[in-house]
Amino acid sequence: QQPVQSPQAVILREGEDAVINCSSSKALYSVHWYRQKHGEAPVFLMILLKGGEQKGHDKISASFNEKKQQSSLYLTASQLSYSGTYFCGTEMDGNNRKLIWGLGTSLAVNP
């Protein structure tokens, strides 16, 4: 049931782009994306509901491919502040509210 995130780790230079993927073997109702910095709580980025939508948030956007049961998080023109661990959380049923997380993708942005 746990979603699979890839890659496990990414190292970027400031200004470069990255894509983080989150896939599930089961049909998904929603996908949540969060970023966590060391020693802090995860911080909300965006939610995508089934229906194959795409959302944007400054230079961070995401898509949800319902056919593939996969979501991708796009980080463009990365900034130092983007460093952290990115987690996707998935919900298979909109009614039972059970939210399960992937293992995370560690992103380091260097000057």
Which residues in this chain contact other proteins in the complex, by CB under 8 A? 1-2, 29-30, 32, 34, 40-42, 44, 47, 49, 87, 89, 91, 94-104
Q: Which is nearer to other proteins, 17 or 37 (CB)?
A: 37
- Which structure tokens are listed for 35? 């970023």
In the bound complex, what is the minimum distance in angstroms from residue 31's beta carbon to other proteins? 11
**Rg, the chain, Cα only:** 13
The span from the CA of 101 to the CA of 42, in Å, is: 12
In the bound complex, what is the minimum distance in angstroms from residue 14's beta carbon to other proteins? 27
